[in-house]
A and B are shown apart, each in its own frame.
Chain A
Amino acid sequence: MSGLLYLIPAALFLGLLGLGAFLWSLRSGQFEDLDGAAERILFDEDDTPPDDKPA
C-alpha cells in the first residue's frame, strides 16, 4: 500500500499538467474561433498563428 504514497501524487501531478495546458490554451486564444480552426486545416499555404493575445 505504500506505493500509493507516491502513485497518487504522481497521478495528480499529471492531471494538473493537463489542466494547466488547457488553461494556457484558453488564455492564448485557441478557443476563440473553433469554426475557423476547423476550416484552416484545409488551407494549402502555411498559416501563421496570431502572436498577440485576443483583445
Chain B
Amino acid sequence: MSIAASAETASARAETAFQPGIDFAAYVRSGAGDENALNLIVEGLKCGGCVRSIERALANQPDVTAARVNLTTGRLALSWKGARARATTLAEVVENLGFRVMPYEPSRLTSQDALEQRELLRCLAVAGFAAANVMLLSVAVWAGHVEGMGPATRGLMHWFSALIALPAIAYAGRPFFRSAWSALKARRTNMDVPISLGVLLASGMSLVETMTGGAHAYFDSAITLLFFLLVGRYLDGRARGKARAAAERLLTLDAQSVTVLRADGSRAVLPPEQVNVGMIALVAPGERVSVDGTVISGDSQVDTALITGESLPRPVAAEDRVFAGTMNLVGALRIRVEAVGEATLLAEIVRLMGLAEQRRARYVSLADRLSRVYAPVVHLLALGAFLAWWLVVGIAWQPALLIAVAVLIITCPCALGLAVPAVQVIASGRLMRRGVLLKSATALERLAKIDTVVFDKTGTLTLGRPELRATEVPPGALAVAAGLAASSRHPLSQALLRAAPGATPLEGVAEVPGKGLALSTEGGEMRLGSRSWCGIAESESEAEAELWLTRPNAQPVRFAFDDPPRGDARQVIETLRGSGLRLELISGDRAASVAALADAVGISEWRAAASPAEKVARLETLAAEGWRVLMVGDGLNDAPALAAASVSLSPSTAVDIVQTAADAVFQGDELRPVVEILSVAKRSEVLVRQNFALALGYNAIAIPLALLGMVTPLLAAVAMSSSSLAVIGNSLRLSRGGRGGRA
C-alpha cells in the first residue's frame, strides 16, 4: 500500500481517535518485577508498513521492553517497565499514528474456535507424519506383492505400520470421533459417523490381519484418509478466522466504562455492570453514550446514526431521552440512568437481530444435505455386501467382513469432505484481496441463489456523509463559512471544510448547540447555522440539509447539502439489473430524497420512511412470495432486516453490530464489491457442484469394485488420493484470473 494512502486513512481516523472513557490502566497485567503488559486491538492495520510504524514508534519509547503486532488478528502485545498508568500514554502513541486502539483481555478473546483450530493443526501434523511413514512401508509391501516378498518381512512391515498408525489414529482421529459420538448420542448421523466407522474398522481389521499374518493391511488408507480430512477441516476453519476476529471486537464495545457523578460530588469511572438505574452519568463531547437515560442538564447534539440511521445529528436538551450507542457531539451532558446493559434499546435491537438470525440458521448447507443421504446409504451398502457374501455367496464371515470394510473405506467421504472447503478457502482468499470479508460458511452458497437485491440508502448506496451541493455559491462566502466551520464537529461543518480545504480557521468562534456558530467582527456579528439562527424566514419548501451564512452588509448565503451516491452506484445497479436481478430500495429517510436517489441510480422500485420493523416485514413478504433476497445495509436500523434476509452484506463503515449480522463485509468507497461477490459466489457454486460430481463419480466406479471384493489396499490408496487431488485441482481454477475477475 502506498504511503499516501496510509496518510489519508490516518487523517480520517484522527477524528475518531479521541476516545475518553476507556481506562487502559484497568487492563494492564503486572508481570515480574515492575514490568507491565497490555494487549490492544488495533483497528486500521493493513500491511507490513503499519506493523513497522507501530512497532518502531513504541520501540523508541525508552521504557518499552517489547511491542509486537500480529497482522493476522490485528492485535498488539505491549510490555514496559514502570507505572501502570503509562498504559494510556502508550496507547496514545499508537493513536497518534492514526490507528484506533481498544484494550482487551486475552483470556476473554481466546475463543473456542481458536483452540479447536490449534488442535486441528496438531492433529494434522501427527497424521501427516504417520501417513508419510506408513505409506513408505506400504509401498515396500505393494512392491513385495509383485517381487515375491517373504511373509516374515511383510509381517515386519505390517507391524511397523501398526506401531505408527494406531497411536496416530487414536490421536489425530479425536475431532471426528468426538463429533460422531455426540451425533450418535443425539440419535442423529453426520458425515463423521461413516468416517469414524471406516477408520476404526479399517485399523481393527488390519490389526487382525497383521496378527494372523495376512497379506493385506489398510493402515495406510486409514491414516491417509484422516490426513486429507483434517486438511479440509483445517482450511474450513482458517477461511473464517479473520472474520471471527472482527466479530470478537464486539465484545470490547460493551466493556466501555461509564463516568458517574457520586452523591458527594466526586467522579468515578465504573464498568457498565456496576452502574445502577438512578445514578447520574456524565458524557463528555466526543464520547459515546453507554446507558439509556434522560438528560438532566446540558445542551448538545447527539449522532443517532447507530440507532435510527439518520445522518444528521439531533439536538438534545434537558428532559430529552438519549440512548446507549449514540454519540455525544457538542456539549457535556448529565444523564439520569434509566437502563443499563441488557435493558438498553441497543441491547433490545441486538436481541431482535439474534432472533431473526436463528430463523436463518435453519439453512442447511448443500454438503450437510448430501451427507444426510450419503451416510445411511454407505452403511446399508456395507451391511448389504457383508450379508450377501456371507449368506448368499456362502463364504466364511471373516472374508465377508473384509469386503464390507473395504466398501466402507472406499466410500469414506474424503473427496466429499474437501469439495466445499477447498472452494471456500480459495473464494474467500480471492474476495479478501478485493476487500470483502466473508463471514458465514454458507454465505457463498446462499449468494449464488439470490434473485432480488434490496438496498438501504444512507451509507449503502450513498457514502453516508453530507457533501456540499455544487451550486452557485459565491466563492468568498464559502471560504468565510469554512473558516467559521473549522471549529465545529458538526457533520455539515465538516462537509463545508471538505469543500474548501484551504480555508483559514477563524478565531473566537462560539458554538451554540443545536443552532449554529457565531463570530463577532468589527462590522457586526457573522453567523453560520440553521435558518432560524440566522434570522431567515421559514419557508414551506421541503426540509433538506442546509446551512445559512449571514454577514454584516451582505446578502445571506444558503449552502445546501446532499448525500451523494457512491461513485459507481449507477454502474453497479445497471450491471446487477443486466444479470437479471430484481432491485429494490428501502430507506428510513424522507420520500423526496429517496425518490431523488432512486432516480439517480436507476432503481424503479423504492419505499421511503420505513421503520426497522417495516423493513423486516417487507423482507418477510418477499420471502413469502418466494424471492431469495440479498440485503445490503449499514445502519443499526437495518440490522434486523439484514438478519431476516436470506443473505446480507454490509459496508465496513457500518457499525460493529451490523457487521456481525451481515454474512459478508466489504471495504472502500465503491459499491463494486457487491458485483464481485455475486460473481465469485456463482463460480464457486459451479465448482462445488463439479467437485461433488467428481467425488461421486469416483465412488460410482470404486463401489462396484469394492462390492465384488476386488479392492486391494493399493487400489484404495490410489483411488482415494487421486479423487482428492482432482477435487483440489478443480477448486484451484477459481483462483486464476479469468471471467470472475472483472465485474
Q: Which residues of B lie under 8 Å from residue A19 when comparing CB positions? A: 125-126, 129
Pairwise interchain contact A4-B156, C-beta atoms closer than 8 A: yes
Closest residue of B by beta carbon distance from A55: B106
Contact of B68 among A15, A18, A43, A50 (CB under 8 A): A50
Complex Cα gap A15–B69 (Å): 33
Which of B107, B122, B129 has the most A CB atoms < 10 Å from its CB? B129
Tell me whether B71 and A18 are in contact (CB under 8 A).
Answer: no
Q: Which residues of B contact A42 (CB under 8 A)?
A: 48
Main secondary structure of the interface of B (DSSP, over half): helix
Contact mask A15-55 → B, CB, 8 Å, 1/0? 11011001100100001111110111011010000111001
- Interface of chain B residues 110 through 167 with chain A (CB within 8 A): 110, 118, 121-122, 125-126, 129, 132-133, 136-137, 150, 153, 156, 160, 164
Of B51, B66, B77, B125, the residue contacting A22 (CB under 8 A) is B125
In Å, the complex CA distance between A32 and B76 comes to 13
Whether A11 contacts B133 by the Cβ 8 Å rule is yes
Query: Is A50 in contact with B160, judged by CB distance below 8 angstroms?
Result: no
A-B contact number at CB 8 A? 64
How distant is the Cα of A38 from the Cα of B132 in the complex, in angstroms?
Answer: 28
- Give Cα A12 to B132, complex, Å: 10
Which of A1, A11, A23, A52 makes the CB contact (< 8 A) with B136? A11
A37 to B66, CA, bound (A): 17
- Min CB distance B510 to A, Å, is 48
In the complex, are the beta carbons of B133 and A12 less than 8 A apart?
Answer: yes
Q: Are B121 and A26 in contact (CB under 8 A)?
A: yes
With a cutoff of 8 Å between Cβ atoms, the chain B residues found around residue A12 in the complex are 133, 160, 164
Residues in B whose Cβ lies below 8 Å from that of A33 = 70-73
Q: How far is the CB of B242 from chain A (nearest CB, A)?
A: 9
Q: Please indicate the chain B residues that have their CB under 8 angstroms from the CB of A1 in the complex.
A: 150, 153
A31 vs B77: C-alpha distance when bound (angstroms): 16
Chain B, residues 78-112, CB within 8 Å of chain A (1/0): the string is 00000000000000000000000000001100100
Given that A39-B47, A50-B66, A55-B77 are known contacts, is A18 also in contact with B72, CB under 8 Å in the complex?
A: no
Find the B residue at minimum CB distance from A50. B68
How many Å lie between the Cα of A39 and that of B122 in the bound state? Answer: 25
Among B39, B69, B126, B136, point to the contact of A36 (Cβ < 8 A).
B69
Identify which of residues 627-676 in chain B touch chain A, using a CB-to-CB cut-off of 8 Å: none
Cα A46 to Cα B75 in complex, Å, equals 21
Query: In whole angstroms, how far apart are the Cα atoms of A31 and B124 in the complex?
Result: 14
Q: Does B178 interact with chain A (Cβ within 8 Å)?
A: no
CB distance from A21 to the nearest CB of B (A): 10
Q: Is B52 part of the contact surface with A, judged by Cβ < 8 Å? A: yes
Check if B68 sits within 8 Å of A4, measured CB to CB: no
Residues in A neighbouring B77, C-beta threshold 8 A: 50, 55
The contact sample of 15 A-B pairs, CB cut-off 8 A, is A8-B137, A12-B133, A15-B129, A23-B122, A26-B118, A36-B70, A36-B71, A39-B48, A39-B71, A40-B48, A40-B51, A42-B48, A50-B77, A55-B106, A55-B110
Top 4 nearest A-B pairs (CB, nearest first) are A39-B48, A36-B71, A55-B106, A19-B129
